[in-house]
Amino acid sequence: MNLAILESSAEKFIKMLASEKKSKHTIANYSSSLGSFIRHVRVHKGSGDFNFKETVFEYIDSVSPGYSTNTINTRRNIIKSFVNYLSDRGYIEESFSRNIKLLRRDSSKTKEVLEPFEIERLLEAANSDISEAAGYNIYHKVRNRLLLVMLLFTGMRRSELACLRWSDVNTRTNEITVTGKGNKTRVVPLRKEIRYELMDFRELISEFEGRGYSMNTSYIFGSEHRNKRTKEKDDHINPKTIEIIIASLVKKAGISKNITPHNLRHNFASYAVKSGMSIPTLSGILGHASPDITMKIYAHEISKEEREKQMSKLDFGI
């Protein structure tokens, strides 16, 4: 293996992912991780021949332990997929992906959940930003509040929210069609409060378009950057931008907990379980592959009282 072959193989691999209709978010993650690996090879191996297997493990060992377990495992899974691809296509003699081990998750760590008063403070922070805004910045602050509300009350992933189009929202049936992992779609109920905020946001967009602002996109949350090909702002917001927006609101609200878009998804699920939502229903809303996954993650949220209540329903017929 040499650098030129590695770069060419990685490019073909990414094209294969695109041909398999993988989401833009997935392709971006794969491109980023493989790009990091290629940079490692360029710096440490140069353009000459190198031992591919040995280099893969050197790269894996070099990934900073400062990254979260999820981030490290994501990179390792991407490398595993790439190794399998190279083996399947005959670019390398053997697939050693089974030797690439994932880190064990620390199950003792509990995810941060917001108290009701903290949710109120977050919403107040968003409202305060809107009241202090002027001009086009009003659009940004209203958008930020809507992002927060939808993360809080739908359980969507940030990448799913970023890619949401106006055509995915049905205000007649009060449903949102969400495209999740593996391009699988699911239907999420649209709460009345969100419906009204969406309608207000669309009116605000129309108002700014009337003032001459370029907002020609089918996405609810459009990008502020112009598409190099079309010269229009017709792409969706970057998921990373959503994370920055939420971090800013959390800081303004004076909340010391580590709250990210993913934490808000967990927050939604925790409140859903505590409110008595069934695990199969919650699993469908969250887009988990099976209710077993949801149960494994959120079983601890079921209260002692609820367990006793359900136990009392058991009838052995004796």
Segment among 120-129, 143-152, 183-192, 308-317 with least mean pLDDT: 308-317
CA dist 124 and 145 (Å) reads: 10
Residues 94 and 214 in one domain: no
Q: What percent of the chain has pLDDT over 90?
A: 62
Q: What is the DSSP string of 264-308?
A: HHHHHHHHHHHTT--HHHHHHHHT-S-HHHHHHHHGGGS-HHHHH
Q: 9 — phi, psi (to 5°)?
A: -65, -40
Q: What is the pLDDT of residue 119?
A: 94
Residue at 168 is within a domain: yes
Residues 10 and 65 in one domain: yes
Q: What is the pLDDT of residue 106?
A: 60
Residue 160 has pLDDT above 90, yes or no: yes
Residue 59 has pLDDT above 70, yes or no: yes
The token duo for 244 is 């920055």
Residues 63 and 124 in one domain: no
**Type and span of the H or E element at 186:** strand 185-189
Q: What is the pLDDT of residues 256-303, one digit of tens each?
A: 998 999 999 999 998 888 888 888 999 999 988 888 888 887 776 666
Residue 16 has pLDDT above 80, yes or no: yes
Under the banding of pLDDT at 50, 70 and 90, the label for residue 316 is low
Q: Is 304 helix (H, G, I), strand (E, B) or coil?
A: helix
| Beta bridge mates, 170 | 175
Domain boundary among 99, 134, 166: 99
Q: What is the pLDDT of residues 194-229, one digit of tens each?
A: 999 999 999 999 999 899 887 778 999 998 877 777
Residues 241 and 133 in one domain: yes
Q: Which of 68, 253, 246 is nearest to 161 (CA)?
A: 246
Domain boundary among 259, 286, 311: 259
* H helix intervals, 237-278: 239-252, 261-274
Residue at 272 is within a domain: no
Q: Across the chain, how many H-helices and E-strands are there? A: 13, 3
Task: Work out the burial of residue 79: count CB atoms within 10 Å of its CB; fewer than 13 is exposed, 13-18 middle, 19 or more buried.
Answer: buried
Specify whether the backbone of 180 is left (phi greater than 0), alpha (psi in -120 to 50) or beta.
beta
CA dist 79 and 60 (Å) reads: 9
Q: Which amino acid, one-letter code, is at 98?
A: R
Residue at 34 is within a domain: yes
Domain limits for position 19: 3-99
Q: Is 54 helix (H, G, I), strand (E, B) or coil?
A: helix
**Type and span of the H or E element at 176:** strand 175-179
